[in-house]
Amino acid sequence: MLEQLEFLILNSLQTLFDQFGWGGVFMVMAFENATGITPSEIILTLAGWMLLSAHDLHPSMILLGGLVAALGSTVGSSLAYWAARLGGRPLIDRLARFLRLDPGLVTVAQDQFQRGGPGLVLIGRVIPGVRTLVSLPAGLVRMPFPAFFAATFGGTFIWCTLLIGAGYLLGHEWRLIGGYLKQFLPFLLAGGLSSLALYLFLHTRRMLAPVPSKVK
């Protein structure tokens, strides 16, 4: 069943990339970040091979591909952000029940985003399993949209460029990146969560620091 699903996804992506090129990457990354359904690891590494490596393009084009993919990701993330911001906690609670998430986790995430701000979005965008979810608490706490947009674009540009570059370097063996990510996922999660914890600690410490009095 999983093999058939993967075959269907790959065929659909190949058809989309053949017809629309980087426009197809933009569209599918917008969909992925708005819904969290399609795996970006497959999308981006396949794009790095099909649209860059297979055409013998210069490695500098990896940055351009990362830019296009990051813009699509940011558009999709913005849709999720506004859905959470306009729908509020009732919408998030319904989504949590649908995804079988503990409502308590939503409350914790909401509290953290109220304290952490855009830094949490930036770091969260490069953590697998977290990157497509950070839009919801950001919208829920009504983070200023320009700050959300900038942090999302910065984080997704790093993520997209790395995976497109991996697909470019691996060429026909682009599927290997999925195995590498699974192998190193615990380390990626540990590093990402440690970065989040450090950011929250430093941010909270700065917020609680006493303001020096002015000398008259």
155 domain-assigned: yes
Number of domain units in the chain: 1
114 domain-assigned: yes
Considering only residues 187 and 38, tell me which one the structure prediction assigns the higher pLDDT. Answer: 38
Cα gap 80→75, rounded to integer Å? 9
Q: Is the pLDDT of residue 126 over 70?
A: yes
24 domain-assigned: yes
pLDDT of residue 191: 52
Range of the domain at 91: 2-173+184-206
pLDDT of residue 123: 82
pLDDT of residue 102: 66
pLDDT of residue 69: 95
Handedness of CA 85, 89, 95, 101 (dihedral sign): positive
14 domain-assigned: yes
179 domain-assigned: no
213 domain-assigned: no
130 domain-assigned: yes
Q: Taking residues 85-90, what's their average pLDDT?
A: 86
Hunting for tokens 């790093």 — which residue is that? 158
Query: 174 — phi, psi (to 5°)?
Result: -60, -25
Q: Are the CB atoms for 152 and 77 separated by under 8 Å?
A: yes
